Amino acid sequence: MSAVEQHQRTPRRVIVGVDGSQSSKAAIAWAAREAALHTVPLTLVHVLQPPAMIGWTDPLALPGYAQWQETRGLDVLQEATQVAEAAAADVGRVDIDSETLTGPAIPTLIDLTEDAHLMVVGCRGLKAIGRTLLGSVSSALVHHAQCPVAVIHEGESPAATAPVVVGIDGSSVSEKAVAVAFDEASRRGVDLVAVHAWSDPGVLDFPGFDFAPFQQAAHEVLAERLAGWQERYPDVQVERVVAFDRPAPQLLLQSQRAQLVVVGSHGRGGFAGMLLGSVSTAVVNSAKVPVMVVRQAQP
């Protein structure tokens, strides 16, 4: 039986990948609060890889290994449930269930995103090396998941009053990110910082270049993209940031005062089915706060 067949899909759940790492625990706590905010169930998923998929650096598939793996998985999920319950207590009630699936971790988790509300994952798992790059599982999910993916970094939690930041470039994926960002800000009761950064290689080096008309156009683009959403969410105060700068550095700068950054999976230079855009890649890798990647729906 495949992992998908084992999993009784329940639409509109927040799903979080659990592996017992510190990064995973941070993701569990964030996911529990997110599920409570959205009044949707939370599912904790631990994936057991069959011995044939274990690399040579892992324990050998000796007799009793499978039983040890299953027992450890139950322990990991029990601890994860405790973390989730404690995290959600200050936000609201949330229904929590847990599942152990067998199969390769990456495709198994990607399959679960087909009908999920949100997939949450730590920036790196038990085997990830280094603090600046994503682990293999989180990297694969932000590239290929079929629902929004939140990548959670370890460290101190941002203030509950900190704003949500969203990057806006005028693309269809950006529009989806704006919708998500307004909803997240409204549920948290915080401000939204809408960032539109624009630049063209070599423009600033051109003698006598007057970028005032372009700056005005950028303000107009931002106003147009926000107009309908501000009417839909009158409770959300919006701060507009227009910068003549590369988008990634500007979003990272704004992330320093945020509790969440929302970005599209690719922007103006993207095309359907492409890998994660350079801006979203840079933000997910380098931001110290949770980053939510809103992917373009595939046909």
Q: How confident is the model at residue 34 (pLDDT cuts 50, 70, 90)?
A: very high
Distance from C-alpha of 284 to C-alpha of 258, rounded to nearest angstrom: 14
Task: Answer yes or no: are the C-beta atoms of 126 and 20 closer than 8 Å.
Answer: yes
Q: Is the pLDDT of residue 280 over 90?
A: no
User: pLDDT averaged over the chain?
Assistant: 82
Distance from C-alpha of 250 to C-alpha of 278, rounded to nearest angstrom: 13
Distance from C-alpha of 280 to C-alpha of 79, rounded to nearest angstrom: 32
Percent of the chain with pLDDT over 70: 77
pLDDT at 61: 54
- Read off the pTM: 0.84
| Stretch 64-87: mean pLDDT | 89
Q: Which two tokens stand for residue 103?
A: 């199969």
Report the 10 Å Cβ neighbour count for 224. 11
Domains 3-152 and 164-294 fall in the same CATH topology:
yes
Q: What is the DSSP letter of 153?
A: -
Q: 56, 140, 70: which is closest to 105 by C-alpha?
A: 140
**Tens digit of each residue's pLDDT (9 = 90 or more) over 79-110:** 999 999 999 998 888 999 999 998 888 999 99
Report which of residues 123 and 236 the model is more confident about: 236
The per-type count for the chain, helices as H runs and strands as E runs, is: 9, 10
Which top CATH class is 3-152? alpha beta
Query: So where are the chain's domains?
Result: 3-152, 164-294
Fold of 164-294: Rossmann fold (3.40.50)
